[in-house]
């Protein structure tokens, strides 16, 4: 009887709990969080019960296998640009990106990165055709207890003023870089606002 009760207790405490995870590398289903449009991001959720100011963050970056090198911007270059933008804007917001002893881990999953199509932007950019896109989903997890405190979807698309920026040259690579900077800036502002960092 004691063995049965012990086995039941083990199974109960082994059930997944929303917002927590035993392994920091386990994938997170962002749709389990009630994300809403925020001041700066397409969708954002924050655990209001969190009272910690998590200012030292470790950044992990994952690019979807479907993303390929673009004619004007390689994956390596895009990752470098995104990391630089994150460092710059997070520092301005009072957040520090570190490699060791972080307060929390910021996991970014680049779902889509494309510089779009120049000709389509020129012909029908006002209808959204040929748009460059950068879609990043992610979450912030407390390094101590593995509790997810922030979940978000930062999706940006841009047609370069409906193709006007493409008249003299392909604006796609520049649009991708600009969107990665905007996502970095917007995310840093949301984190600062959520954690009341002054």
CB 184, CB 85: distance < 8 Å:
yes
Averaged pLDDT, 112-131: 95
Report if pTM > 0.85: no
Q: What is the pLDDT of residues 141-198, one digit of tens each?
A: 999 999 999 999 999 999 999 889 999 999 999 999 999 999 999 999 999 998 888 6
Q: What are the residue ranges spanned by the domains of the chain?
A: 21-194
Question: What's the CA angle centered on 43, arms 50 and 58, to 5 degrees?
Answer: 55
Evaluate whether 149 touches 122 at the Cβ level (below 8 Å).
Answer: no
Q: For residue 8, what pLDDT is reported?
A: 44
**Helices (DSSP H) in 2-136: which residue ranges?**
2-13, 75-92, 118-124
Residue 87: what pLDDT? 96
Answer yes or no: are the C-beta atoms of 167 and 119 closer than 8 Å: no
Rounded Cα gap, residues 192 and 198, in angstroms = 8
Q: Give the model's pLDDT for residue 16.
A: 35
Other beta carbons within 10 Å of 37? 10
19-61 confidence digits (pLDDT tens) = 333 334 456 778 888 899 888 898 999 999 988 889 999 999 9
- Count each helix (H run) and each strand (E run) in the chain, helices first: 4, 6
> Could you tell me the CA-to-CA distances from 72 to 8, 37, 85, 151 in Å, in that order?
57, 32, 19, 31
Q: In CATH, what is the architecture of 21-194?
A: 3-Layer(aba) Sandwich (3.40)
Q: Which two tokens stand for residue 10?
A: 């083990």
Could you give the CA distance from residue 50 to residue 194 in angstroms, rounded to a whole number?
A: 10
């Amino acid at each position: 009887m004691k063995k049965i009760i012990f086995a039941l207790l083990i199974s109960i405490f082994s059930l997944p709990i929303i917002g927590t995870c035993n392994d920091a590398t386990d994938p997170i289903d962002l749709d389990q969080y009630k994300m809403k449009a925020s001041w700066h991001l397409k969708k954002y959720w924050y655990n209001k019960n969190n009272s910690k100011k998590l200012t030292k963050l470790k950044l992990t970056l994952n690019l979807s296998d479907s993303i390929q090198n673009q004619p004007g911007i390689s994956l390596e270059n895009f990752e470098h640009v995104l990391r630089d933008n994150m460092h710059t804007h997070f520092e301005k917001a009072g957040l520090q990106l570190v490699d060791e002893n972080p307060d929390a881990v910021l996991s970014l999953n680049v779902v889509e990165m494309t510089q779009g199509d120049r000709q389509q932007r020129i012909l029908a950019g006002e209808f959204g055709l040929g748009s460059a896109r950068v879609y990043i989903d992610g979450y912030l997890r407390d390094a101590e207890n593995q509790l997810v405190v922030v979940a978000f979807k930062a999706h940006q698309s841009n047609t370069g003023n409906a193709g006007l920026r493409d008249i003299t040259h392909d604006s796609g690579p520049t649009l991708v870089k600009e969107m990665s900077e905007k996502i970095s800036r917007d995310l840093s502002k949301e984190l600062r606002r959520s954690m009341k960092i002054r």
